Chain A
Amino acid sequence: MSLDTIVIGAGHNGLVAAAYLARAGQKVLVLERRDVLGGAAATEALFPGYRVNTGAPDAGLFLPRIVDELKLQARGLELIESPAAVCALQPGGRALTLWRDVARSRDEIAAWSPRDAERYPDFVDYMGRMASALRGTSTLTPPDPHDGSARELLGWLRPALRLKGMGRRDMMEFLRILPMSAAELLGDWFENDALKGALGTSAVLGSMQGPQASGTAFRLLYHYQGAENGGFRSSAFVRGGMGRLAEALAAAAREHGAEIRSGASVARVLVEGDTAVGVRLETGDELAARRVVSCVDPRRTLHGLLGAPALGPELNRRVGNIRYRGSTAVLHLALDGLPSVPGVTGVEPITAHIVVSPSLVDLERAYDDAKYGRFSARPCLDMVIHTLLDPALAPPGRHTMSATVRYAPYDLRDAGWDEQRGRLADTILGLLDEYVPEVRPRILHQRLLTPLDWEREYGLTEGGTYHGQMDLDQLLFMRPVPGWGRYRTPVAGLYLCGSGTHPGGGVTGAPGFNAAREVLRD
């Protein structure tokens, strides 16, 4: 048996790449170190009887094109959408809910600021226009500014023209806001802290920066890409858990002849001359293939699996310089019942994201701690109770609650995560006591995943869930490293297909999709 392609890692991007390669007739083998598929977009039985989305909570950014082309719905993928986008808990037992229905959001905001309520529909429209300028570029291979072929440059002309189609004013605006901070952008529109705090939470994902940092406006836009129908961020959940997405992708890949082997940990990418010829597993077995596609993050692929000596010192410096700086922890709770949430009537508002981010200043202060190597004394929380829309994920009457916590920097200055893990859990629960006091007494099980856990258990360098920060200098032809933004590596036959490549992190499938196209092109 002779393999065309080995895909390392069954993260969603690896599976997308595998499915497209297999569909094109290649003989593909996917090797996954863990026993579950999906990487950081998996559903796991963290507690007996519960199915928990261990990493990514939703699939709102996932490219619809991939769903269609790989017929994922026929393979069991069902997206469930909440009417709510976000429920922002406030001090004093109040809450502000933003809905996918813009008019409903406007009414809700009016209780906080009539002026902001007035502007909100325009803002949603504006962000939609801005995000659409971005959207067209995610399935394109970044051009090489020096020797891009005419065909590729033409591909980039289309989004550029779309930019033109925006009208001169929008276009200027797009160029103006890309390097701006979320705080400035939101400050241009709104006055109310509760609203700005709620909107700002997605701007600080993907990089260890506060909302006042230049570039956070871009990240706000990035997350708006998945929110065409109103809400400022995705609340498209996967029935049965995120793992179902991975399973549907795996089914598509298998149907086209791919083999997917879990529990198969790759130790080394094998190279002969300057060409990748296969992989060696931790067991010592060697598998030959014409090419190797890695969904593992760039540094771990190039320095860990390939080995720095296979690269030149100049590229090694660049790989060493990739900023990962994981700063997200996730606290998973199993609850013996649904806690009542102060300020909220009914369950509808809390069926999507529930955030504790009362203002951009609170968010900025949370970041300040992280700058000096401490986790936030008052972190920003982004919680989802998946069992509300999908009760089958827990035993009857029970619930899960998953809180994404920022900032929890990988590099702690005083003591390591193994020592500080408990203190962070206490801090989070202490904050929850203020906002949702009913949570703590209902906890049956809890599990905290720190950046160190992301690194150790999920293989993410420095616990960076985006495989490298989404900073402006780590995008396009600068992602993962300057000069190697086209899914290839200096070793012929070795490709990258994970979130470390264009367009970046989040459950989009786009890197895997693009990488498969580039492999086939070669």
Chain B
Amino acid sequence: MAHRYDAIVIGAGHNGLVHAAYLARAGLDVLVLERRHLVGGATVTEELFPGFKYSVYSYVVSLMRPDIIRELDLPRHGLTILPLESTLTPLPDGDCLYRDADRYRTWRDIARFSVRDAEAYEEYGRTLFFMARAVKYLLGIAPPDPTRVRPKDLSGMLGLARHMLGLRKDELHALVKLMTMSAADFLDEWFETDVLKATLSASGIIGTFLGPRSPGTAYVLLHHYMGEIDGHFRAWGFAKGGTGALANAVAGAARELGVEVRTDSPVAHVVVRNGRATGVALENGDVLEAKIVSSSLDPRQTFLRLLDASVLPDELVTAVGKFKFRGSSGKVNLALDAAPDLACLPGHGPHLRGAISISPSVDYLERAYDDAKYGDFSRAPYMDVIIPSMIDPEMAPPGKHVMSCFVQYAPYELREGTWEEKREAFGDTVIDTLSRYMPNLKEIILHRQVVTPWDIEQTVGLSQGNIFQGELSLSQLFFLRPAPGHAEYRTPVRGYYQCGSGTHPGGGIMGAPGRLSATAVLRDLRRPGGRKGQT
């Protein structure tokens, strides 16, 4: 007789693994099925060129919930998060804005542009700290449904209301602003220096198909501000060994808890009998049985590919059909013969250990978006560049470097041509743009890999290459993520759960969806560990 698992988790992305680990921790017999040959999903490290290792798709781990690191004891399984200390924004005229942990140095650098802004910057940081703290509450709870009157929704809304009203007036106002405004407008209330606003607004557009002047981007800015390391907000980090090391650590923890992880096992569909999920069918024809099935894939895959739409209510099918993916970013991964030289700060220096943000002005970012809006990749794209080998020497052979360029915008749907045709032209644009700030770049490139949203979809399986499994826009957050009425990790099919970034609280290497959904599963199974999610 075939083995019947307690739970099968589809997809060994970081959320699927976190989910599996928490289920196993509560005593469940769990199997994780991964289509690719390695675990991690978009959280993988691959040695693309001999000796050069890359976090191929993702690059920073700021959002990883500290409680997961602690509860799964991830450091023991190999997770080391190294701080990214600074952000350098080079300007076309050879100047730059350099912000790092040295408060007074940063102050002086901003003050070169505007003393008022230097002063406002600290107050701004404190305001966002409060906002991040206010929203952090939301990261730790399953979203209540405001349109229902079930006791748990009412108590959820009450808790939410109490939390919101517990905020000071000015905090509540700032929160409303952050939830609705554009990053550029929000920053306009604080600053007058264009480059400062630009580089701060950049975190409001990451992963979205929106420009810095589009309302809703202020929230994304906050979402990224919630990166928390050791209790400090806005502390971005880099996982030693690349983001794959994080997935491996979670997988290690999961295995130790008894989880079985099978790679090269693509799932064809979820087996549903009498409205209840009873297992999965693999593409090779095998059928595996389980009491519950959880999908860490994005909502489109979870509902429309793995299930037959007939088992779902029409409204959900329509809602998932409307769910916006609109992948907008790509990556260019470079192998370098030497460290790049920045025109604004030549030579080696601590600035190479941080992020280099190609965001010289708000208009620059907005124009990059304009191109994408009409179906072209940006002629002058926004980039967030890091050189992981500067932080972690094991990422490249001695003296050589790997450079990761997160690039936006690269719209999934091109107005003309296909991404296969345009991939290298896109790569050239990235290199040309970067060369303006790094004059020696072209001479030191040994290898280059260009990852487009289409490639992300093909390889990792993220619909339209959206790195968040669906845009973080207001109409796709909280109780609306992924669809109104289906935001509590459960689905209309009994025993079938969602646990990916397409659920609350959304994308980034955060792990919160995987953990919160595990809590929901355990509660349904009346298992300990299904206690209320903590904040």
The answer on a CB contact under 8 Å between B215 and A471 is: yes
Asked if A209 contacts B215 (CB within 8 A), the reply is yes
A179 interface residue per 8 A CB criterion: yes
Q: Tell whether, in the assembled complex, residue A482 and residue B173 are in contact, meaning their CB atoms are under 8 Å apart.
A: yes
A213 at interface by CB-CB < 8 Å: yes
Q: Is B526 an interface residue (CB 8 A)?
A: no
In the assembled complex, A171 has its CB within 8 A of some CB on chain B: yes
Query: Does B240 sit within 8 A of A, measured CB to CB?
Result: no
A436 in contact (CB, < 8 A): no
Tell me if B485 counts as interface (CB < 8 A to partner A).
yes
The answer to whether A172 and B147 touch across the interface, beta carbons within 8 angstroms, is yes
Q: Which of A184, A371, A472, A483 contacts B180 (CB 8 A)?
A: A472
Contact B146 A175 (CB under 8 A): yes
The verdict on A188 contacting chain B, using a C-beta distance below 8 Å, is yes
- Cα–Cα, bound, A12→B304 (Å): 53
Asked whether any CB of chain A lies closer than 8 Å to the CB of B109, the reply is no
The number of residue pairs between A and B whose CB atoms lie closer than 8 Å in the complex comes to 86
| B484/A179 in contact, CB under 8 A | no
Which chain B residue has the least Cβ–Cβ distance from A368?
A: B370
> Is there contact, CB below 8 Å, between B484 and A472?
no
**Cβ proximity bits A376-418 to B, threshold 8 Å, 1 near / 0 not:** 0000000000000000000000000000000000000000000
Q: Closest B residue to A323 by CB, please name it.
A: B185
A171, A179, A213, A364: which contacts B147 (Cβ < 8 A)?
A171
Is A212 in contact with chain B by the CB < 8 A criterion?
Answer: yes
The reply to whether A214 and B473 form a contact with Cβ atoms under 8 Å apart is yes
Q: Does A429 contact B (CB under 8 A)?
A: no
A contact residues around B108 at 8 Å (CB): none
Q: Does B366 contact A (CB under 8 A)?
A: yes
**Distance from B3 Cβ to chain A, minimum over Cβ atoms (Å):** 41
Contacts of B173 in A (CB 8 A): 478, 482-483
A212 & B473 in contact (Cβ 8 Å cutoff): no
Contact of B475 among A171, A179, A321, A471 (CB under 8 A): A179
Given A179-B474, A180-B475, does the pair A212, B373 have CB atoms closer than 8 Å? yes
- Whether the pair A176, B475 counts as a contact (CB closer than 8 A) is yes
Chain B positions 125 through 159: 1 when the CB is less than 8 Å from some CB of chain A, otherwise 0 = 00000000000000000000011100000000000
Q: Is A177 an interface residue (CB 8 A)?
A: yes
A215 within 8 A of B: yes
Point out the residues of chain B lying under 8 angstroms from A361, CB to CB. 374
**A451-473 Cβ-contact flags toward B at 8 Å (1 or 0):** 00000000000000000000111
Q: How many residues on the A side are at the interface (Cβ–Cβ under 8 A)?
A: 34
Binary per-residue interface labels of chain A (12-56) against chain B in the complex, 1 for a CB within 8 Å, 0 otherwise: 000000000000000000000000000000000000000000000
CA distance A173 to B485 in the complex (A): 11
- How far, in whole Å, are A179 and B178 apart by their CA atoms in the complex? 13
Q: Are B181 and A473 in contact (CB under 8 A)?
A: yes
Asked if B260 is at the interface of the complex by the 8 Å CB criterion, the answer is no
Q: In the complex the two chains form, what is the Cα distance from A168 to B479 in whole Å? A: 13
**Known A-B contacts A146-B165, A372-B363; A179 and B216 likewise in contact (beta carbons under 8 Å):** yes
Let me know if A169 and B181 touch, CB within 8 A: no
Q: Mark A176-218, 1 if CB is under 8 A from B, else 0.
A: 1111100010001000000000000000000001001111000
Q: Does B172 count as interface, using CB distance less than 8 angstroms?
A: yes
Q: Does B322 contact A (CB under 8 A)?
A: yes
Please state if B480 and A371 are interface contacts (CB–CB under 8 Å).
Answer: no
The yes or no answer to A145 lying at the interface (CB within 8 A) is yes
Residue in chain B with minimal CB distance to A317: B189
Interface residue B213 (Cβ < 8 Å from any Cβ of A):
yes
Residue pair B148, A482 in contact (C-beta under 8 Å): no
* Complex CA–CA separation, A268 to B322 (angstroms): 53
**Contacts known (A175-B146, A478-B173); A214 close to B216, Cβ less than 8 A:** yes
B176 lies within 8 A of A172 (CB): no
Select from chain B the residue with minimum beta-carbon distance to A173. B484
Measured CB to CB, the closest approach of chain B to A443, in angstroms, equals: 35
Contact B373 A364 (CB under 8 A): yes
B177 to chain A, nearest CB (A): 5
Closest chain A CB from B322 CB (angstroms): 6
Residues in B302-346 with C-beta less than 8 Å from chain A: 315, 322, 324
From A169, A188, A215, A482, B322 is in contact (CB under 8 Å) with A188
Decide yes or no: A176 and B213 within 8 Å by CB, A214-B474, A371-B366, A471-B180 being known contacts: no
| Given A175-B484, A179-B216, A471-B181: A478 touches B176 (CB 8 Å cut-off) | yes
- The minimal Cβ–Cβ distance linking B260 to chain A, given in whole angstroms, is 39
User: Which of B164, B176, B215, B475 meets A177, CB within 8 Å?
Assistant: B475
Q: Once the chains are docked, how many angstroms separate the CA of A473 from the CA of B176?
A: 6
In the complex, per-residue mask of B265-279: 1 if CB is within 8 Å of any chain A CB, else 0: 000000000000000
Q: Once the chains are docked, how many angstroms separate the CA of A368 from the CA of B172?
A: 32
B169 at the interface (CB under 8 A from A): yes
Question: B177: which A residues are within 8 A, CB to CB?
Answer: 473, 478, 482
Is B106 located at the chain interface by the 8 A CB criterion?
A: no
The listed residue with most B CB atoms (<10 A of its CB), out of A168, A172, A321, is: A172
CA distance A188 to B181 in the complex (A): 23
In the bound complex, residues from chain A placing their C-beta under 8 Å from that of B148 are 168
A185 to B374, CA, bound (A): 18
Nearest residue in B to A478 (C-beta to C-beta)? B176
Shortest beta-carbon distance, A144 to chain B, in Å?
Answer: 9
CA distance A169 to B319 in the complex (A): 11
| CB-CB nearest in chain B for A168 | B147
The answer to the question of B214 belonging to the interface, with a C-beta cut-off of 8 Å to chain A, is yes
Docked CA distance A172–B180 (Å): 18
Interface residues of A in 125-183 (CB under 8 A from B): 145-146, 168-169, 171-173, 175-180
Given the known A-B contacts A168-B148, A177-B475, A188-B322, are A214 and B370 also in contact in the complex, defined by CB atoms under 8 Å?
no
Residues on the B chain within 8 Å of A483, using CB = 169-170, 173
Residue from A175, A188, A215, A472 within 8 A of B480 (CB atoms): A175
Asked if A172 meets B485 with Cβ closer than 8 Å, knowing A482-B173, A482-B176, the reply is yes
Q: Are B180 and A215 in contact (CB under 8 A)?
A: yes
A contact residues around B176 at 8 Å (CB): 473, 478, 482
Nearest CB in chain B: distance from A123 CB, A: 15
Q: Is the CB of A145 within 8 A of B165?
A: yes
A307 to chain B, nearest CB (A): 22
Chain B positions 168 through 202: 1 when the CB is less than 8 Å from some CB of chain A, otherwise 0: 01101100110011100100110000000000000
- Residues of A within 8 Å of B172, CB to CB, are 145-146
Which residues of B are found within 8 Å of A364, using beta-carbon distances?
373
Return chain B residues, CB-CB under 8 Å to A212.
214, 373
* CB-defined contacts of A172 to chain B, threshold 8 Å: 147, 480, 484-485
Chain A residues positioned under 8 Å from B214 (CB to CB): 212-214
Chain B residues with CB under 8 A of A169:
315
A146 to B168, CA, bound (A): 9
In the complex, what's the smallest C-beta–C-beta distance from A486 to chain B, in angstroms? 13
In the docked arrangement, what's the CA distance between A478 and B176, Å?
9
Q: How far is the CA of A184 from the CA of B216 in the complex (A)?
A: 14
Kindly supply a per-residue 1/0 record for chain A positions 345-379, scoring 1 wherever the CB is within 8 Å of any chain B CB and 0 otherwise: 00000000000000001001000100110000000
Instruction: Please report the C-alpha to C-alpha distance between residue A141 and residue B399 in the assembled complex, in whole angstroms.
Output: 67
A253 to B485, CA, bound (A): 50
Residue of A with least CB distance to B477 = A179
Contacts of B484 in A (CB 8 A): 172-173, 175-176
* A323 surroundings in chain B (CB, below 8 A): 185
Please name all residues of chain B whose beta carbon is closer than 8 Å to the beta carbon of A213 when the two chains form the complex. Answer: 182, 214-215
5 more CB-based (< 8 A) A-B contacts, given A212-B373, A371-B213, A471-B180: A179-B475, A212-B214, A364-B373, A371-B363, A478-B176
Q: Which residues of B contact A (CB under 8 A)?
A: 146-148, 164-165, 169-170, 172-173, 176-177, 180-182, 185, 188-189, 210, 213-216, 315, 322, 324, 363, 366, 370, 373-374, 473-475, 480, 484-485
Pick 26 A–B contacts, CB within 8 A, sort by A.
A145-B165, A146-B169, A168-B148, A171-B147, A173-B484, A175-B484, A176-B475, A176-B484, A178-B475, A179-B180, A179-B215, A179-B216, A179-B473, A180-B475, A184-B324, A213-B182, A214-B210, A317-B189, A361-B374, A368-B370, A371-B213, A473-B180, A478-B173, A482-B173, A482-B177, A483-B170
Rank and list the top 9 A-B pairs by shortest CB-CB distance, nearest first: A482-B173, A179-B474, A472-B180, A172-B484, A214-B215, A214-B216, A473-B180, A321-B189, A168-B147
